[in-house]
Amino acid sequence: MKHLVALLFIVSLLNSCEAQEPSAVTTVFVKKGDDLILNVDADADVPEDFSLVEWKFNKTVDVVRFAPGGKHLVFPDFTGRIEFTVKKFSVKLKNLQEADSGVYTARVSTLQGDKPLAEYKVTVQGPVSPVNLTVVSRSSDSCNLTVTCSTQHSHISSTFRCVNRICSQEGGEQPELTTSGASLQLYLLNSHIICNHSNQVNWTKDFNKTENFCPQYADPDPVPVPTLLIVIITIIIPVIVGLLVLFLYHRKRKRGNHERESIENTVYEVPQVTTAAQPPDQSPTDDASGLSPTSTYSMVGPHTGSLIPTETGGTQPESLYAQVEKPARSFNN
């Protein structure tokens, strides 16, 4: 009976510990040589009466430990590789290497027991190796290609068939995982055969056009540059010059017509002959036209009288007056 009670106690304790595990694990991929920040929400998860907060690697290796009052202790395996951030109990791991891949967990200890704070599953990856796209075989009568995509340690192959400039991949895209956890892909995109080698932090590719393997589907060669220059010099430039000369000719002709119309429409005043004044009793000579007006001239002199009475004693400026008499017009019978 005692053994049964002890067994039930152990099972309930294990269930309690499992319930205290974090509900979600944060998965992180880091490029080799980069840094990683491990965060803890201290304000929400760490009580004020805590006794200890610690980070562990793979649940067995101590990374850093925090005590009340802001004191902390970095363990030898991570000395010189830990920096402390602004947030309480959060740390930065520097210069991560592939050996640093694993699970990092943070826990807080109180008088009531331990409580998980955060858990990170970290994968450190280096850059992928270059790839090489190679055509293994090609049929002569039709454009059927067998292509290989290879890296330093692995390779994949696929067959492509092109009919009337339309190419397809037999079996579709079939990616393959390499021993390092990277993905090797060989696929067709917009008449390009692409070989891609990638992981979560880096990628590299090699590609080639299907037209390079199927000359019968290649586009016509573009016009050579010297031929194009000859066409421009012998045809296009003379046409442009001719149009320019024609435009200037019409413009000059239009301007000349406009000036000619302006001259023709100009009205000049007809000059009139003016004869000297004749005495009133003298008739015009037979040479003068009876219908022509006679110009009359008169000498104007200062007026000798004063219009203002002398009683006023004022001096006024002299006014000029003249009496003009128009001679009688006579007509010859």
C-beta separation of 26 from 103 below 8 A: no
Indicate the residue type of 40: V
The residue to which tokens 């190679």 are assigned: 134
Would you say residue 224 lies in a domain?
Answer: no
CA distance 271 to 148: 107
Q: Token pair of 241, please?
A: 């010059």
120 shares its domain with 163 = no
Each residue's pLDDT expressed in tens, for the chain with a length of 333 residues = 444 434 444 444 444 444 444 458 999 999 999 999 999 988 778 888 899 999 999 999 999 999 988 899 999 999 999 999 888 899 999 999 999 999 999 999 998 889 999 999 999 999 999 999 998 877 766 788 899 999 988 899 999 988 887 888 988 777 888 877 899 999 999 889 999 999 999 999 999 988 888 766 655 555 555 666 776 677 888 888 888 888 888 788 777 766 666 655 555 554 554 444 444 444 444 444 444 444 444 444 554 554 444 444 444 444 444 455 555 555 444
Residue 242 vs residues 187, 233, 238, 239, 255: alpha-carbon distances, Å: 55, 13, 6, 5, 20
- Quote the domain boundaries for residue 201: 132-217
Of 100, 125, 150, the one marking the end of a domain is 125
177 shares its domain with 105 = no
Would you say residue 4 lies in a domain?
Answer: no
Closest CA to 91 of 42, 31, 47: 42
Would you say residue 307 lies in a domain?
Answer: no
Domain count, the chain: 2
114 shares its domain with 137 = no
CATH, residue 76: 2.60.40.10
Of 104, 125, 146, the one marking the end of a domain is 125
Which 8-state DSSP code applies to residue 216? G
Of 193, 217, 241, the one marking the end of a domain is 217
Q: Token pair of 62, please?
A: 């101590």
**Overall pTM > 0.75:** no
